[in-house]
Amino acid sequence: METILYLAHTDDDGALPRAAREALTGAMTLRSQMADAAFVAGFIGGDVTAAIEAASGCGASAFYAVAGPDFAASRYASDAAALEAICRASGATIVVAPATSRFNRVIPGVAQRLGGRIDTHVGGFSVAGAELRVQRGFYRQRMVGTLTRAARPWFLTVDGGIFAKFESAPAPVTVQAVPVTLDAKHTRTRVVGFKAPQSSAQTIRPDASLLFVAGVGWTKKQADSQVHLDEAAKVILGFLDKSGASLGSSKSLVDQSTEGQNVFSFMSHLNQVGQTGATPRHPKGLSACCHGEEPHVVGWRFVGERRAINLDPNCGWAQGKADVLYIADAFELVRKVGELL
C-alpha cells in the first residue's frame, strides 16, 4: 500500500505559502485517485501552527512537524535533516511537495538520502489500475511527458499555477512533533539577510492576473527621432501601479540594462520571459513594444489570453501568436489605459 506524504514549509510569517496550498490540492487530487493509499502531511518552519491550521481540513490521517528557530529560514543542512526525519517517521512511498525555491534546493538531497527518486515540474497525476503516472514538462515545458516509476520513495515537486489553492475551514488535528538533533555542521550556515537585485519597485508579482511584457521598442527612437526613456519608465510604472500587473521583459531589453545603456532601474534579468527566461503563469498577458519572436512566445506558454501592442502590423505577434493585436503607439495607448484605470 502506498503512503502519500504531502510536505510543506511555512512562509516567513508562519503562513502556508500559496504554492504549498496549490500542491496540497494536487496531493489531494492524487489521493482521491488512489483509494487504498494512506495520506499524511508534514510541515517544517519556525512556528508551523498557522500552516497546519490552514491545511488541517485536507483529510490527512497524520500531521508531522519539525519546528523551531533552527528551521525558520531556508538552510540546506537543517531542512534536509528535518525532511528526512519526517519522511522516515511517516514511512512515505510517494512524497508531494511544492516547487518553491526552498524545496527545490533541498528535496533532491532528501531523495538521495532515502535512496528514492525525484521528478520535478510535475503538472498532473493519473492512476491506471494501481500504477501512478505523472505528467511533467520537458525542454523548458515545451513538451509534456507521462511517466511512472517502480522506485520508492518517489518525490514529486509540483509547479505553481496548476492546481487551485487549497482553502478550507480548520479542523481539529493532532500533530506529531518529529525529533531532529542538529549539530554544528547543520547550523554553521546562518542567514544574515537578503540581497535583492537593484530595483526601485517590486515588479514581479506571480499572483497578478495580468503579465505586462515590455520590449526594446520602449527604448527606440520614436516618430520624433528621439528616445523617451523617462517617459517610457513613467508610463510603464504608472500602468503597473494602476493595474497591479506583473512586469515581464524581452531578453533584449534587460540585456541593454546590464550593458549600462538605457537602464530601467525597476527591471532586471529576473523579469525576462522566454526560452532563456521565465515561463510564468498568468490568466492574461499584454505585450508592448516587443517583436514577439518564438523564444518570447515560449515565455508565454502558460499565459491564458494574449494581447500585444505594436506599431508594426507585421510584427511577430501578427503571425497568429496573439489573440488580439493592437496596431498602435504603445506610449499613447498604455498611457491612456493608465489614465482610464
Ligand X SMILES: Cc1cc2nc3c(=O)[nH]c(=O)nc-3n(C[C@H](O)[C@H](O)[C@H](O)COP(=O)(O)OP(=O)(O)OC[C@H]3O[C@@H](n4cnc5c(N)ncnc54)[C@H](O)[C@@H]3O)c2cc1C
Q: What are the residues binding ligand X (CB under 6 A)?
A: 215-217, 220, 222, 250-253, 272-277, 289-291, 293, 295-296, 299, 309-312, 315, 329-331
Residue 258 sits at the vertex; the CA angle it makes with 227 and 300, to the nearest 5 degrees, is 85
Which is closer to ligand X, CB of 106 or CB of 297?
A: 297
Supply the minimum distance, in Å, between the C-beta of residue 326 and ligand X: 9
**Three cell numbers, residue 301:** 506558454
Look at residues 108, 91, 94, 106 and name the one whose alpha carbon lies nearest to residue 44: 106
d(CA 92, CA 155): 10
Q: Where are the alpha helices (DSSP H) in the chain?
A: 18-33, 49-55, 76-90, 101-113, 184-187, 229-243, 251-258, 294-299, 330-340
Residue with smaller CB distance to ligand X, 12 or 312: 312
CB nearer ligand X, residue 51 or residue 211: 211
49 or 252: CB nearest ligand X? 252
Least distance from ligand X to the Cβ atom of residue 339, Å:
17
* Minimum distance, C-beta of residue 323 to ligand X, in the bound complex (Å): 18
- Taking the complex as a whole, the smallest distance from the CB of residue 220 to ligand X amounts, in Å, to 5
Residues 158, 22 contacting (CB under 8 angstroms):
yes
Closest distance of CB 320 from ligand X, Å: 16
Query: 294: number of CA atoms within 13 Å, CB side?
Result: 1
CB atoms within 10 A of CB 206: 14
Nearer Cβ to ligand X (20/289): 289
Nearer to ligand X (CB atom), residue 5 or residue 288? 288
Minimum CB–partner distance for residue 340 and ligand X (Å): 18
Whether the Cβ atoms of residue 317 and residue 296 lie closer than 8 Å to each other? no
Give exposure, 275-296, as e/b (b: 16+ Cβ within 10 Å): bebbbbebebbbbbbbbbbeeb
